[in-house]
């Protein structure tokens, strides 16, 4: 049964750990990493994340086009986990994409995911709870990430907000034929 789950939270809130625990309930998992190891510290973080995943999971590294990758995946997976949408947005912003282009790519990703008959888990940072960034690029990134999260949360069947390692369900699956309310912000 297809179900889309979005897991939101701040940095080091436990989002990825919670996502891993959900995905471990499945046998054949495709883990899609959007992170790029551009410096030594980030490469070490990636190494630690890899060690935390079960070895039998298949890992795909796709920093900018996860929708295209997922479209090419076989139907042998019963779970697809994407970690994380915030890094995807960052990669796209730093590649020169504007908000409209990024939102279009996210809509395309959601369209591809909607066609899959598997459990889908998406991880993203909630970046709107902190200080207003001091520079234009930081504010643009925050705004785009917030809009991406809204798009994905609206499409998701369930949404969890992770605070200090504790999951708070903020959107539950609805019975067939029901639609969640839509917020435009």
The single residue of 26, 49, 107, 171 carrying the catalytic annotation is 49
Q: Are 57 and 51 in contact (CB under 8 A)?
A: no
For the chain, how many residues are written? 185
* d(C-alpha 176, C-alpha 125), whole Å: 29
| DSSP letter for each residue of 48-110 | HHHHHS-TTSEEEE-SS-HHHHHHHS-TT-SEEEEE-HHHHHHHHHHTT--HHHHHHHHHHHH
**Is residue 26 annotated as part of the catalytic site, yes or no?**
no
Which sequence positions are flagged as catalytic? 49
């Amino acid at each position: 049964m297809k179900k889309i789950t979005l897991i939101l939270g701040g940095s080091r809130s436990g989002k990825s750990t919670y996502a891993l625990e959900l995905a471990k309930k499945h046998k054949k998992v495709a883990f899609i990493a959007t992170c790029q190891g551009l410096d030594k510290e980030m490469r070490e973080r990636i190494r630690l994340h890899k060690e935390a995943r079960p070895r039998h999971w298949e890992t795909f590294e796709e920093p900018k086009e996860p929708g295209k990758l997922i479209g090419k995946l076989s139907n042998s997976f019963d779970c697809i986990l994407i970690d994380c949408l915030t890094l995807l947005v960052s990669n796209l912003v730093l590649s020169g994409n504007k908000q409209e282009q990024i939102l279009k790519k996210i809509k395309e990703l959601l369209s591809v995911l909607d066609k899959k008959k598997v459990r889908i888990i998406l991880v993203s940072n909630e970046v709107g709870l902190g200080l207003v960034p001091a520079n234009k690029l930081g504010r643009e990134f925050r705004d785009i990430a917030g809009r991406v999260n809204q798009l994905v949360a609206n499409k998701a069947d369930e949404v969890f907000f992770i605070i200090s390692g504790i999951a708070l369900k903020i959107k539950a699956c609805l019975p067939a034929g029901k639609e969640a309310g839509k917020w435009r912000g």
